[in-house]
């Protein structure tokens, strides 16, 4: 199980927090969102301005998530942990394991992330909440990436995200939007390395929009622009998701994803399932 790969130190943190009973429950249910596939707090594929977990200015929180994306010829397992310090700083660590089914190949990547809330409050300020984040990625299996023309096996994405929840905005239903601009050279998140001969513009836009059907259910869509550094026809990603927040300790997200062409293999559509635990 991918969960076993998370360092014991982090388990330690969890236990310490749990036994110290500092579980943070400050925010309103569902408002922090979930963990995106690179480990940052966000939607499924887009990092949001909200910091992961329910911590507020007065508390810290720890969360963990595991997700699986299965499309026609590939699957991606990813597990992540996040710490939210006083709702100001989010630290995250994620491990990804990418299965290329037809070639029986497995690619692995680790991502360390940090996010700082610059200003604004998702729910209460008139301005959106705005955060600045980084994701520092290290591809552990670089042979495939280099053979496809990637320049490096490490890379750092920097993003700025703005999010806002509008209470009662759509006939009484709450509406959340997020826009993220990311500076990146990652090829397929970095699983196919970083940079390439076809490298052009490096700022990519990512958007999410969700409506809360009730306090426990969010329905939304996401879009993530991708660059085609390797000239393999890397497509933008899209998904439609439903997320269920039964309480402040658990969420489950199911999405239908369209990842387009991956490594020149077309029509990669399929399913994303993710579970997140919050302390």
For the CB of residue 166, give the shortest distance to another protein in the complex, in Å: 8
Q: Under the criterion CB under 8 A, does residue 126 sit at the interface with another protein?
A: yes
Residue among 256 and 271 whose Cβ is closer to another protein: 256
Size of the site for another protein (CB under 8 A): 38
What are the residues facing 242 on neighbouring strands? 219, 254
Which of 14, 146, 177, 277 touches another protein (CB under 8 A)? Answer: 177
For the chain, give the secondary structure using H, E and C. Answer: CHHHHCCHHHHHHHHHHHHHCCCCCCCCCCCCCEECCCCCEECCCCECCCCCCCCCCCCEEEEEEEEEEEECCEEEEEEEEEEEECCCEEEEEEEEEEEEHHHCEEEEEEEEEEEEEEECCCCCCCCCEEEEEEEEEEECCCHHHHHCCCCECEEEEEEEEEEEEEEEEECCEEEEEEEEEEECCECHHHCCCECCCCCCCCEEEEEEEEEECCCCEEEEEEEECCCCCCCCCCCCEEEEEEEEEEECCEEEEEEEEECCCECCECCCEEEEEEEEEEC
Q: Identify which range of 89-97, 109-117, 179-187, 211-219 contacts another protein by CB under 8 A.
A: 211-219
Residue among 9 and 167 whose Cβ is closer to another protein: 167
Q: Under the criterion CB under 8 A, does residue 170 sit at the interface with another protein?
A: yes
Q: Identify which range of 5-13, 51-59, 100-108, 181-189 contacts another protein by CB under 8 A.
A: 51-59
- CA pair distance 54, 186, nearest whole angstrom: 30
Residues 213-232 that bind another protein (CB under 8 A): 214-215, 220-221, 223
> Two tokens at 257?
């994803």
Q: Under the criterion CB under 8 A, does residue 146 sit at the interface with another protein?
A: no
Q: Identify which range of 35-43, 150-158, 186-194, 234-242 contacts another protein by CB under 8 A.
A: 234-242
Q: Under the criterion CB under 8 A, does residue 205 sit at the interface with another protein?
A: no
- CA pair distance 232, 85, nearest whole angstrom: 40
Q: Identify which range of 4-12, 129-137, 181-189, 233-241 contacts another protein by CB under 8 A.
A: 233-241
Q: Under the criterion CB under 8 A, does residue 20 sit at the interface with another protein?
A: no
Q: Under the criterion CB under 8 A, does residue 89 sit at the interface with another protein?
A: no
For the CB of residue 219, give the shortest distance to another protein in the complex, in Å: 9
Q: Under the criterion CB under 8 A, does residue 26 sit at the interface with another protein?
A: yes
Q: Under the criterion CB under 8 A, does residue 234 sit at the interface with another protein?
A: no
> Two tokens at 262?
């991956």
Q: Under the criterion CB under 8 A, does residue 85 sit at the interface with another protein?
A: no
Q: Under the criterion CB under 8 A, does residue 172 sit at the interface with another protein?
A: yes
Give the footprint of another protein on this chain (CB under 8 A).
Answer: 24-28, 56-59, 123-124, 126, 166-175, 177, 207, 209, 211, 214-215, 220-221, 223, 238-240, 256, 258, 260, 269
């Amino acid at each position: 199980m991918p969960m076993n790969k998370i360092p014991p130190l982090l388990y330690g943190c969890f236990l310490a927090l749990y036994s110290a009973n500092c579980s943070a429950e400050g925010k309103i249910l569902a408002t922090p969102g979930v963990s995106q596939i690179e480990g940052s707090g966000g939607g499924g594929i887009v990092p949001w301005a909200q910091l992961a977990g329910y911590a507020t200015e007065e508390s810290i929180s720890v969360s963990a998530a595991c997700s699986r994306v299965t499309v026609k010829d590939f699957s991606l397992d990813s597990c992540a942990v996040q710490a939210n310090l006083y709702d100001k700083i989010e630290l995250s660590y994620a491990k990804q394991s990418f299965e290329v089914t037809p070639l029986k190949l497995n690619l692995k990547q680790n991502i360390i992330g940090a996010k700082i809330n610059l200003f604004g409050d998702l729910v209460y300020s008139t301005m959106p909440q705005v955060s600045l984040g980084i994701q520092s990625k290290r591809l552990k299996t670089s042979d495939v990436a280099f053979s496809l023309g990637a320049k490096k096996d490490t890379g750092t994405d920097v993003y700025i995200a703005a999010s806002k929840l509008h209470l009662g905005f759509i006939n009484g239903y709450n509406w959340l939007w997020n826009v993220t601009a990311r500076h990146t050279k990652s090829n397929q998140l970095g699983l196919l390395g970083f940079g390439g001969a076809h490298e052009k513009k490096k700022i990519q836009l990512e958007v999410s929009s969700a409506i809360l059907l009730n306090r426990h259910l969010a329905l939304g869509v996401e879009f993530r622009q991708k660059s085609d550094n390797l000239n393999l026809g890397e497509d933008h990603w899209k998904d439609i998701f439903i997320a269920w927040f039964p309480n402040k300790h658990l969420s489950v997200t199911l999405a239908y994803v369209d990842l387009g062409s991956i490594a020149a293999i077309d029509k990669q559509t399929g399913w994303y399932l993710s579970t997140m635990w919050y302390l």
